[in-house]
Amino acid sequence: MEAWLILQLVAIAAMPAAYDMALARNRSTRRWLEATVVIGPLALLALLALGHRDVDRC
């Protein structure tokens, strides 16, 4: 029970960082906030690994 609570608190604490990183990398903020709720701070690592999104793709 305590581990689950700690994981949820860390996920909630990571949400502002995920939002800012998604905006800076031209990614969907809503999707990345949802991903942060599910996988917690690992979403931040995924955003770092993906980098900037190319907007000019067809």
Asked if the model's pLDDT at residue 34 lies above 80, the reply is yes
| Helices and strands (H and E) in the chain: how many | 3, 0
- pLDDT band at 19, cuts 50/70/90? very high
pTM, rounded to two decimals: 0.79
Q: Is residue 19 part of a domain?
A: yes
Number of domains in the chain: 1
Q: Residues near 37 by Cβ (< 8 Å), separated by ≥ 6? A: 11, 15
Q: Is residue 58 part of a domain?
A: no
Q: Is residue 39 part of a domain?
A: yes
Q: Is residue 15 part of a domain?
A: yes
Q: Domain residues for 9?
A: 2-50
Q: Is residue 55 part of a domain?
A: no
